[in-house]
Amino acid sequence: MNVVATLPSLGDIAREVGGDRVNVTSLCKGYEDPHYLQPKPSYSRTLRKAALLIDNGLELEVGWLPPLLDTARNPKLIPGSTAILDGASAVTNVLEVPTGSVDRSQGDIHPFGNPHVMLDPRNALAVVDLIARRLADLDPEGAAGYVMRADDYKTRLSARIEEWKALAAPLRGEPIVTYHKQWEYLAQWLGLNIIGYVESRPGIPPTPRHVTALIDSMVKKGVRIVLAATFMDEDAAGEVALKAGARLAVLPAEVGGADGTDSYIDLIDTIVHELAGTDDR
Ligand SMILES: [Zn+2]
């Protein structure tokens, strides 16, 4: 079965669950910003042959996926059909769902809540089950195998989750600043306290006035870590870190976003180790 994933983390999980019954292609590379993917003609051809499309959902891909689906003209890939699966629909506690009305003045707001769910591996556990169920629906002959592989993967991931929690325990309560509003799920999982963002508003680059106020509040609150994804503006984040006397941690936010992050487990492992390593107490 041809499976296409938007994010490489979803692709990796689909491969783990699907084994040799699936042929998985991920559209985004780990070093590309999934909010603003530049579609290539090959993406349409890949989507045309897909029996299942796994996207993140919560409008993370809203800027580029719908037009790509139009050009792909795959009759199976119709919104609402079983051939399209939103990974984030497995997540019960979506963060930052706006309560009031949403308009562009608030920045590039995600109107259904913060979509960066895959940075909490507990959410990934739920996504594993979701993918296994959908693969079984589409390919009943493989159902028993999908369940077995999903259980095996969840056992391995759960063991690592315990290990990572212990490793990051000294960081509980640590005040941090992040570049984009992208690490909320990770912060919630590890007990990090995000006190500000380098971006003035989500998706909008920092203004000098914002940077000055941010540095002030970082110094007051004793922020020692600034966190940015590898594909974000490292210079702006680096300047903020330097002026506030904090350390800049440039971390992969997706599978393939840095060396040694070829799988979802390796990705979270890299993030947690680098974060724990930036703790210089
Ligand atoms: Zn975002």
- Both 42 and 78 in one domain: the answer is yes
Other CB atoms within 10 A of residue 202 CB: 17
Number of domains in the chain: 2
- Both 156 and 175 in one domain: the answer is no
Proportion of the chain above pLDDT 90, given as a percent: 87
Distance from the alpha carbon of residue 3 to the mean position of ligand 1, in angstroms: 24
* Domain that residue 84 falls in: 2-161
Of 109, 135, 161, the one marking the end of a domain is: 161
Distance from the alpha carbon of residue 106 to the mean position of ligand 1, in angstroms: 13
- Both 7 and 104 in one domain: the answer is yes
Distance from the alpha carbon of residue 212 to the mean position of ligand 1, in angstroms: 23
Predicted confidence (pLDDT) per residue in 138-188, tens digit: 999 999 999 999 999 999 999 999 999 999 999 999 999 999 999 999 999
Distance from the alpha carbon of residue 81 to the mean position of ligand 1, in angstroms: 25
- Both 101 and 26 in one domain: the answer is yes
Of 109, 129, 161, the one marking the end of a domain is: 161
190, two tokens? 């590890």
Of 144, 161, 178, the one marking the end of a domain is: 161
The domain spanning residue 185 has which CATH number?
3.40.50.1980
Distance from the alpha carbon of residue 117 to the mean position of ligand 1, in angstroms: 10
Distance from the alpha carbon of residue 180 to the mean position of ligand 1, in angstroms: 7
- Both 134 and 192 in one domain: the answer is no
Distance from the alpha carbon of residue 194 to the mean position of ligand 1, in angstroms: 15
- Both 253 and 217 in one domain: the answer is yes
Distance from the alpha carbon of residue 143 to the mean position of ligand 1, in angstroms: 34
Q: What is residue 278's predicted lDDT score, i.e. its pLDDT?
A: 46
Query: How far, in Å, CA of 74 to CA of 45, rounded?
Result: 9
38, two tokens? 């530049």
Distance from the alpha carbon of residue 63 to the mean position of ligand 1, in angstroms: 12
Query: How far, in Å, CA of 257 to CA of 77, rounded?
Result: 28
Residues of the chain falling short of pLDDT 50: 278-281
